[in-house]
Structure 1
Amino acid sequence: PSGETLPRAVCPSCQTIHYENPKIVAGSIPEWEDKILLCRRAIEPRLGLWTFPAGFMELGESTEEAAARETLEEAHADIRIHTLFGIFSLPHVSQVYVIYRAHLQNLDFKPGPESLDVQLVSLTDIPWEHLAFPVIHESLTRYVKDIQAATPQTHSAIVPTQKPASFYSF
């Protein structure tokens, strides 16, 4: 189309532009006292590895609603969104993660269909070598630093395309 600087998918018959935009992933870091809730994935990609609850937004929901829904689906956990933790851009896979700090409303949680296990872990027991994705590692690294420094921040970062050798490309 006139004035566009990027190539776009355009219908040759009606000239309608079909935008291909990044996917938004919403998630939460559920907190209970000095621990956080992590889920062990029951699905690919990264089956058997750990993550905080997160997933793709559905049409018609806010990022907060998506984060709460994903937490309920993956961990049967009821949360109250506390504050925005960070926005992480993953240009190499065309995703944007919107992550919230959240308070677990109770300890009544269990694995959902997408989780093999769900556990509250202390910050010293985060399974760093068994985290599912680089963005989870980056987010939790920043989270731990914030907690240790007692200075919560709202983060914004680009997760680099260079991934540790243990991660595969999508």
Structure 2
Amino acid sequence: MSNTKPIVVGVDGSEFSVHALRWAIREAHTTGTDVVAVMAWQPYAITPSTLPMPVLEPTVSEAETRGLREELDAVIARASTGLPEVPVRAELIAGPASKVLVDASRGARLLVLGSHGRGYLVTALIGSVALSCARDAHCPLLVLPRKVTAESGEAERELTTGPSAR
């Protein structure tokens, strides 16, 4: 493990977070830092109105925790494939994603997120983790836009399979 501050990456299992983690691994290799892949989870209860509400005292079974840990490990394995070996520490933390990531940004060199780019209406209704992190993070924040993550995926395919026919 290096002596420098790590790069923290928010991981939610989406392709956007896989690309963000791949970017962070490349950057960590270049700068000699480590990576911390953080997956936040929050248990929900279903109310009579069927709106998810956070459970005040989360009770999560061992099987659920194991499943989340396996999902996080699988994302790290996918993101690491074909890249130089870099220490990636997996952290599964209970709580709202924005709070978990802001807390994880303490002592970090950089916080990296992949943007889902859901649009203004959905962001206004459910909020944005990236906006919360931009406001409250304790280190610089890099948000990889959808277009960049899509282009990086295309560039990776071209590196392994050759240029696509256009």
For the aligned pair, the TM-score class normalised by the smaller chain equals under 0.3
- TM-score, normalised to structure 1, is 0.25
- TM-score, normalised to structure 2, is 0.25
More strand as a share of residues: 1
More helix as a share of residues: 2
The structure that has the greater radius of gyration is: 1
